[in-house]
Structure 1
Amino acid sequence: MITKKTEFEQLHKYVEESSGNEKNICEITAIKNGRIVYEDYWHGYRRGDTLNVMSVTKSVMALLTGIAIDKGLIRSVDQKVLEFFPDYLVKRGEKTIYDITIRHLLTMTAPYKYKSEPWTKVCSSDNWTKAALDILGGRNGITGEFKYSTLGIQILSGVIENASGMKVIDFANTFLFEPLSIPRHTNKEGSTKEEQFNFLMSKEPKGNVWYADPQIVNTAGWGLALSANDLIAIGLMCLQKGIYNGNRIVTEEWIDAFSTPYIDLDDRFGNMSYGFLWWIIDANKRIYAAIGDGGNIIYINEAKGVCVGIAGTFKPRIFDRVQFIQKKIEPLL
């Protein structure tokens, strides 16, 4: 007779012996109906060790945006971006930027003046938010086209900071992390290319940090370090429609809003849809996820009461983490 323990042991061995997309996994935590039913570690990682969860950071920014709206600091997702940057000097002849809203940022439909993201230009600047504003807009206007941008979403950090009068990390610690029993985070500073590369590529635990630019504005598109247990706390709060340990963290309306599909995508994006910085896997079954490079993920299946958090070291072009969860983990839960 194969027991549940045996099945989990087989899963551990599968990851441990993987030579493919699973070999960078360091932590997995899974919950079913509010209870942790699986927790496992590889490569010397232990409970509480954190990794750069890459673009899962974007989904955390979506939650912070919702909290700011709940508090009246942002009127709505249709508020114009430039209202938060009254001192920003718009370049002569630029018109499109005036009409771009927070909704455009959240749905990745904001237009940008580049063919490929100008990493060096933005990440070697003294002010990453201003550098991101400099690439926002363009002659084609707002077309509604999906344009995934890690650099452009940096603008959202500036929006939250200017709206709240707080550093993003302080806002997150106060209104999201600490209420979810996620350890208080501190800034990880490092403006040189070498420092950024080391943070990205190092396989060592990161500590409870969030990368920040020279202005100590936290990165919105990557750079937040979380453990699998941290990811699962966020997921559980979402499963419970914004409530954690009996406390309201964000409104149920915002949970529904960010997990609603606004744009249907093609096979380049796994035929998923996109909400507010969250990926919608199956709208009818209420399955959605925060997904970052390296296969970092918060996977949520509302109908089954399931959430899976996976954290791993940097490994580019991992696109099968949802399939891995649905084929290897979810059946065990």
Structure 2
Amino acid sequence: MSLTRRQFATASAAALAAPFVIPAAASRTAAAQTPGPAIGEAARSFPRLHSILVQRGDEMVFAEALRGPGLDRTANIKSCSKSLVALLLGIAIDRGEVPGVDARLAEVAPRLVPDDAEAEVAQITLQDLVTMRAGLGATSGREYGAWVNSRDWVSYALRRPVVGEPGGRMIYSTGSSHVLGAALAVAAGESLLDQARNRLGDPLGIEIPAWTRDPQGYYMGGNQMALTPRAMLRVAMLMRDGGVFDGRQVVSRAWVDASAEPRTQSPWSGLGYGYGWFVSDSGYLIARGYGGQVIAAHRARNLAVAITSDPAQPARSQGYFGDLMAFLDGPILEA
């Protein structure tokens, strides 16, 4: 049974205190000076966790593959892909390929909009897509299978029933991110794969393998990308450092700042949601993928974190993902 966040925090605090020097005050001092052992012991309490890297500034605090393919082999980052697509949107805006987040999908990529789509679809903006507020029925969860088995993923997503106003409540839907990715491919005249490699992979010095494409040839815009844990950490460092990596402004600071501003709230986790990134009350920017894949940055604490987990098991907000949040807010944040 998964622990609640409060239970995990209590249990991990008790477990972590034991190996250090007594009394308790000395234990806390030792843990603060050497956070690696505390992080390692907490990480080993998760049987589903594959790897974790924690970097504070330029110092690698902890890096270990407890199980799984290792730190230098690719892992499916699942819906963390959505956060990378959001970064590509910011870069496309910086390059002038799309006019801005307020641009309507029908203006940026008119050929993607089905002729028989509901009238509300004409009002959907790129901001609505990147913040999961398109107002259309979801293509995730129980609807995911029917969507990916359809003959036209973009058309299927845009033909979903209207269940809210564009720009209204958050409706988590991989189809929205996929439509955004297809729109970027149309606007830039470059596939999403090439954009990911040229605009993120090259400046970050990471490999981005080809991933799933839809029947029309558009690379999937919200799932199935693969990165090594070390590459995930570099994405976290990019967000932590205001879009800069190795002295180069890869994504504008204005876009990173805008991504960190909650525009809506997840009905499941309660986390805020900005431009493709979840925002925690404790100050993390988080990319979250099925099974417990996490790319996290804490700008105030100068932390970058990458976590991979068993991709075959769900990580619910009140289950394993909630436990990972307690881990981020506990031993990791204390680093």
TM-score (norm 1): 0.82
Which residue identity does 2:321 align to in structure 1? F
Cα distance between partner residues in 2 of 1:152 and 1:89: 13
Q: What's the counterpart of residue 305 of structure 2?
A: 308
Contact 1:51-1:313 at 8 Å conserved across structures: no
Q: What's the counterpart of residue 74 of structure 1?
A: 98
Which residue identity does 2:239 align to in structure 1? C
After superposition, where does 1:202-213 map in structure 2 within 5 Å?
A: 210-213=211-214
Contact 1:105-1:153 at 8 Å conserved across structures: yes
Which residue identity does 2:293 align to in structure 1? N
* Partner SS for 1:142: coil
Q: What's the counterpart of residue 131 of structure 1?
A: 156
Q: What's the counterpart of residue 3 of structure 2?
A: none
5+ long unaligned stretches in structure 1: 188-209
Runs of 4+ in 1 over 3 A off after TM superposition: 1-16, 88-93, 113-117, 139-143
**Structure 1, residues 103-145: CA drift from partner, whole Å, max 9, x if none?**
111111111146975323321133322322222x627543612
Residue 173 (str. 1) matches residue 171 (str. 2): no
* Partner SS for 1:319: helix
Shift of 1:94: 2.1
* Partner SS for 1:59: helix
5+ long unaligned stretches in structure 2: 1-19, 22-29
Structure number with the higher helix fraction is 2
Residue 250 (str. 1) matches residue 273 (str. 2): no
Q: 2:328 aligns with which of 325, 328, 332?
A: 325
Shift of 1:300: 1.4
Cα distance between partner residues in 1 of 2:61 and 2:37: 13
- CA RMSD after TM alignment: 2.5
Q: What's the counterpart of residue 50 of structure 1?
A: 74
Cα distance between partner residues in 2 of 1:161 and 1:237: 23
Cα distance between partner residues in 1 of 2:137 and 2:181: 20
Residue 294 and residue 152 in structure 1: after superposition, are their counterparts in 2 closer, same or farther (change >3 A)?
A: same
**Structure 1, residues 21-74: CA drift from partner, whole Å, max 9, x if none?**
x22211111110133221000225323112111111111111010000000011
Cα distance between partner residues in 1 of 2:38 and 2:209: 37
Residue 41 and residue 102 in structure 1: after superposition, are their counterparts in 2 closer, same or farther (change >3 A)?
A: same
After superposition, where does 1:85-234 map in structure 2 within 5 Å?
A: 85-88=109-112, 90-92=114-116, 94-113=118-137, 118-135=143-160, 138=162, 141-142=165-166, 144-183=168-207, 185-187=208-210, 210-234=211-235
Residue 215 and residue 143 in structure 1: after superposition, are their counterparts in 2 closer, same or farther (change >3 A)?
A: closer
Which residue identity does 2:327 align to in structure 1? F
Cα distance between partner residues in 1 of 2:113 and 2:34: 62
Q: What's the counterpart of residue 238 of structure 1?
A: 239
Cα distance between partner residues in 1 of 2:163 and 2:233: 42
Which residue identity does 2:244 align to in structure 1? I
TM-score (norm 2): 0.81
After superposition, where does 1:253-332 map in structure 2 within 5 Å?
A: 253-265=254-266, 268-269=268-269, 271-282=270-281, 286-314=283-311, 315-316=313-314, 317=316, 318-320=320-322, 321-331=324-334
Percent identity, aligned pairs only? 26
What is the number of residues matched between the two proteins? 300
Cα distance between partner residues in 1 of 2:102 and 2:284: 26
* Partner SS for 1:162: helix
Which residue identity does 1:322 align to in structure 2? M
